[in-house]
Homo-oligomer: A and B are copies of this chain.
Amino acid sequence: MRMMMEEELEKRAALVTDAIEQLLPVVHPSGLYEASRHLVDSGGKRLRPSMLLLAAEAVGGEAAALAPAAVSIELIHNFTLIHDDIMDNADVRRGRPAVHKLWGESGAILAGDTLYSKAFQVLGLTPADPKRLLGAMNMLSRTCTAICEGQWLDMEFEARDSVSEAEYMEMIEKKTGVLYGASAGMGAILAGASTEVVLAMDLFGRLTGMGFQLQDDVIDLTTPEKVSGKRQGGDLIEGKKTLIIIHALANNVSVPVFGKKEATSEQIQQSISILQKSGSIEYARSRAEEMVAQGKKALQVLPDSDAKTTMLELADFMIRRRY
């Protein structure tokens, strides 16, 4: 069953990758387009555009026709990563140097800005009823604003002593949830679904996207570096105020290596054990599971179909993945 889902996703990811080649050619001035393509060409799972295509299929639409819309979502995702990497001063992304490491900050700002407008250009090429296309554009622009708000909150939280669970949830909803919501919602709008179905799809994407983010926080603590490619407990020693930390602090659990960048692997493992015993990791995992369960429930508005089945499996995958 898992195997089938992976094949289904790979099929759609390949469609998206082919469409990117068509829709974002390296033209004059080539340096700008090479910088813009660098991260886009570094792979990634293309989960968001695949979700758009699956949502369209699940309401009776044709995936192939909506390839431009799927690409627009992937370009927006990559634009946010390029700008985030400048802000976080991150060196590496998807195993390759970050865009600003190769083209400088100015080049990376512009590469991101280019993907931003290209996303709207490409979305405009989607063959769909004008009103529906406008609806999709409005959803995408609202979503981009929310993503900026989410990133702003994330940066603001770094400078604060404490963050509440509600604040954290708002942040991950905006930073991660809304783009998954727009993916499923835009697929549904463009394929002609009713408002009720579009809203249900948006909710499905949003909740599973939040589950995805919570699972990311869990993976940081539970997956060894040799599996994830990232240092185990990296977020912890960076002092990231994840739901796991928020739970621990709320329960007066002291986490010695929190925010201690120079902690040894042994000290990190000890703090991870503390967070395991305190139930903080389990708490985040269970919240992720709840969100995914709620998201799946939203899909009950849909008739059964292969695409719906794949979406339900994808939802499970988002919190079962180990890296």
Q: Chain A residues in contact with chain B, CB under 8 A?
A: 28-29, 31-32, 83, 86-87, 105-107, 109-110, 112-114, 116-118, 120-121, 124, 130-131, 133-134, 137-138, 140-145, 148-149, 151-153, 155-156
> Considering only CB atoms, which chain B residue lies closest to A155 in the complex?
B106
Copies held by the complex = 2
Which DSSP category, helix, strand, loop or mixed, fits chain A's interface?
helix
Give 5 new A-B contacts, CB below 8 A, not counting A113-B144, A120-B137, A124-B137: A29-B156, A87-B109, A109-B109, A113-B148, A117-B142
Contact partners of A86 in chain B: CB under 8 A: 105-106, 109
Docked CA distance A31–B130 (Å): 36
Docked CA distance A131–B131 (Å): 8
> Considering only CB atoms, which chain B residue lies closest to A141 in the complex?
B120
> Considering only CB atoms, which chain B residue lies closest to A134 in the complex?
B130
Docked CA distance A110–B153 (Å): 11
Given A29-B149, A31-B156, A153-B29: A117 and B137 interface contact (C-beta under 8 Å) = no
Given A31-B156, A109-B83, A152-B31: A117 and B134 interface contact (C-beta under 8 Å) = no
Nearest 10 A-B pairs (CB), nearest first? A117-B144, A120-B141, A87-B106, A32-B152, A130-B130, A121-B141, A114-B148, A117-B145, A124-B138, A130-B131
